[in-house]
Amino acid sequence: MAQESDSSEVATKFSTLNVNAMEFVPSFSFGGAAAAAPAASEATDGAAAAATTAASTTTTTTGGSSSGGANTPTSAAATPTPPSSSAAPTPMDTKGDEEAKTPENNESEPLDSWDAEEDSILTPEDEEMELDDVEGLDGDALAKVSKKKPVKVEESKSKKEHVNVVFIGHVDAGKSTIGGQIMSLTGMVDKRTLEKYEREAREKSRESWYLSWALDTNQEERDKGKTVEVGRAYFETEKKHFTILDAPGHKSFVPNMIGGAAQADLAVLVISARKGEFETGFDRGGQTREHAMLAKTAGVKHLVVLVNKMDDPTVNWDVERYNECKDKILPYLKKLGFNPAKDLTFMPVSGITGQGLKEQIDESICPWYRGSAFIPFIDELPSLNRKTDGPFIMPIVDKYKDMGTVLMGKVESGTAKKGTNLLVMPNRTQVSVDQLWSDDEEVTAVGPGENVKIKVKGIEEEDVSPGFVLCDASNPIKTGKVFDAQVVILEHKSIICAGYSAVMHIHCAAEEITVKALICLVDKKTGEKSKTRPRFVKQDQVAIMRIECSGLICLEQFKLFPQMGRFTLRDENKTIAIDRGNGISGLAKRFRKDLADKQRKARFAWLSSWEEQKQSKPKPKKKVVIRPAKASTPGHVWKPPLMPNRMPEVDGVKHSLDLETELPPKVAEVARKNGENPEKTCLLIQEFRDMIYERGDCEPHRVDDEYLTKFLRARFWKVENAYKLMCRYYEFRNSNPELHQNVNPMTLRSLGDDNIISISPYRDQEGRRILFFRFGNWRPSKVPINDIFKATLLMLEVGSLEPMSQVVGGVGIMDLEGLSLNHAWHVSPSVAQKIIALIVTCMPVRTTAIHVVNQGWVFDTVFQIFKPLLNERMKERLYFHGTDRASLHKHIDPEFLPERYGGTKPEYPYTYWLDHLSRSEYVVQELEQLGYVAEPATEE
């Protein structure tokens, strides 16, 4: 606590703290100080003003920016002031069992124990106060300070035990009001400041909100009466030093609430006794249930339930209403794992009047409750057992730059002193401690449970991110991307299977994760594990799953360090899964290393067979029929491939079939923006191959780098999405064998003769291949609809071999001129599903846009079949132009369109493309591997 001062001396300032946390990643910073008293000009004289503010003490609440501004006091201050910014919520303190828990005993003891005593670890050390620390004082105050003895910098801010108390509950339950009332009752906010808040609140017709303004200093929070960030404030009792964490109650800010609960030693659940408000928060989708569950998940051992607003006219301290609220919520808290005899305490209070908070409620008001008041009760709770002798660990909540790099967080284990050498993980940067502050007061050493700021040397501010950990250099925390954990699936409507993505909150980090594999199910009652791997898990089931993070995170096994091993999974603004009390059980090895070589070869015999065939003596090349080109078709020159892995590229200017050597600079830049990084492609391809080995959901005929690259490019190098695309691709092949068997490109010439389908040998302004469909020219009696599917499939297969098309995709133009009811009869829902799968969802080449032209009323009828099958992303790729060519030209430059669509290019029939295709030996071989048949030539 701040150094004591008598009433004649200038008191410490009443400052404010803004915790501007981004969603899922809490970010806290120190904002400008709020005035503890009006300016000196408002006081009758300087001495009176100083006397009035003498009772105030340092208080931090929300308000400020993430970069941290200068902390400029508006009232006199005699205490040293740390650099701008402030301490912020960090993970909670817990102490787990030294032994790992068995499945039969899933209940784990948290690290914090209320029946163990805390050892004093710090002794004071003197240091002179800098003159800069009194900058900003008025003349009288400065004169008094200058006559004082030098202020000493203590080794520890206070020898009292540090306890973090988080206030949780539904919005408008009264959490901020109770916090402000506690600050007032303990003398942390002076009377004059409260009068100012009350006056300002009355001007805005918010008379009952003034107490909450001691914690909600952000103007938006004050205007709406709704806490957004986690507010912070401090107060002391006879035995302890408490930090209040005022968590937001609205469901939109649950990630911020998790940041507060993660660092709490004690949770206070505030519920409203007012008629209708309790039911809204508990029974009608409110946040009371979720907040209580998240507090338990965070490791909070003891929960105090304050039944607030007992003074409301609808309640009037009625014992029946109190018991009604208690009886409704108690079964749910027991279900979460709270023991009513040891872990739960219920109290009736009134936040607005302060009854039941500091003093016992008057018997004339509430004769039926004679228990302890709230503040004396938490002051008498047994001390916490901190890991004083363990290695230093401090998750970094926020950071800022102020003549060096300042890191903020809560010390979870060990101690640190000025000059200590530490390590920033996971980037393994060594730093040395330059300065330390505990609750905004400079000290020379910090210990477990303290909210601190540490200025370090050896690292730049931009090289640190929230979620990093400052730790002992000789005993660093573990890092990893893949780990195994036992989780409970909560209220989740759909099933969860391998590939499911969510956001994980662990200590002060928030990271996107993917479920890599489901290892087994666990029986809730017996703890028995299933012998087979489940294909999915659903609500209320317990499973051990393998989880992969999008980036490296700092973590520890739960049995070794509970604070760094607890986590919560959230998706779509809901908590969908929590760890079952065992947290992270261990870091997983790479999947490929988990399988022995013999097992892998036996499981993937089909792959070994393909590899052997590829290495065997090559088969004699087949001769293909080279049909004479039509007179109207320009001549061409075929160039043999210089390298076997080169891809075909039809040149529409030279009218020749060239082979790409590399991506053009413009397309290479697009590839880079899509996530293609030469330094990472090899790793991603290997990860993709490992995923195919491990999961075995599909059996591709090839797994070489070239083949896997086209799936990765089609999904922007997201391995999980590329794997899903590959599964859909082979599922489509297996479901529609008639489209892949006995397909000879030469038999599809009739579609080109009738000008039903064509593909341009040139690309548009973005490098995309253009496909043309003129369904009005289709005669169903002559050309089966499956031939149209085969021709389209063939174009897409060849397009997936072109590196440019892999990167930028293709675009389709559907010309519906002449579409009749005869065509419409052949479009059933199954045909519509097949079209969507073929063009949008199943092929390893992206169709970036489909432009519909010359549509009429027949199309409007047919489109009603397609519409329910399209999701929002598919609908965004559809453009309807009718006969308006100018509308089409907004998307495709007329320079790259045929004259029929207002362009300047000539039209090339489908047969022109087929002729070029038949002359590419490499393409023919590729199509043969995919199941297509090349027509052999007869020997003369």
Asked if the domains 161-325 and 479-586 are classified in one and the same CATH topology, the answer is no
User: Per-residue pLDDT tens for 355-378?
Assistant: 999 899 988 899 999 999 999 999
Phi and psi for 307 in degrees, rounded to 5?
-85, 100
Radius of gyration of the chain (CA): 35
* pLDDT, averaged across the chain: 71
Least confident of 202-211, 318-327, 877-886, 911-920: 202-211
Regarding beta strands 451-457 and 405-410, do their DSSP bridges make them parallel or antiparallel, or are they unpaired?
antiparallel
Contacts of 146 (CB under 8 A, 6+ apart): 134
Write the burial class of residue 99 (CB in 10 Å: 0-12 exposed, 13-18 middle, 19+ buried). exposed
CATH, range 589-940 = 3.40.525.10
| The two three-digit tokens of residue 40, written as one number | 């000196």
Query: Looking at residues 630-641, what average pLDDT do you find?
Result: 32
Is the pLDDT at 21 greater than 80? The verdict is: no
Tell me the whole-structure pTM to 2 decimals.
0.47
% the chain with pLDDT above 90:
15
| The two three-digit tokens of residue 686, written as one number | 């290997």
The neighbouring-strand residues paired with 773 are 757, 814
User: Per-residue pLDDT tens for 268-290?
Assistant: 999 999 888 888 888 766 778 88
Least confident of 489-498, 570-579, 910-919: 910-919
User: Per-residue pLDDT tens for 294-305?
Assistant: 888 777 888 999
Is the pLDDT at 772 greater than 60? The verdict is: yes
Go through 443-464 and write b for each residue having 16 or more CB atoms within 10 A of its CB, e for each that does not: bbbbbbbbbbbbbbeebeeeeb
Q: How far is CA 161 from the centre of its chain?
A: 34
In the CATH scheme, what architecture does the domain 479-586 have?
Answer: Beta Barrel (2.40)
CATH homologous superfamily, domain 161-325? P-loop containing nucleotide triphosphate hydrolases (3.40.50.300)
Q: What is the pLDDT of residue 615?
A: 47
Write the burial class of residue 508 (CB in 10 Å: 0-12 exposed, 13-18 middle, 19+ buried). buried
The Cα 795–Cα 646 span in angstroms is 18
Quote the crossing angle between the two packed helices 681-695 and 719-735, to the nearest 10°: 50
User: Per-residue pLDDT tens for 24-38?
Assistant: 333 333 333 333 333
Domain boundaries, the chain: 161-325, 393-472, 479-586, 589-940
User: Per-residue pLDDT tens for 181-237?
Assistant: 888 888 777 666 666 666 676 666 555 555 655 555 555 544 544 444 555 677 888
CATH 3.40.190.170 for domain 393-472: no
Length of the chain: 940
DSSP label of 395:
E
Cite the DSSP H helix spans in 7-153: 46-52, 139-147
Select the highest-mean-pLDDT range: 282-286, 612-616, 667-671. 667-671
Q: Are 207 and 222 in contact (CB under 8 A)?
A: no
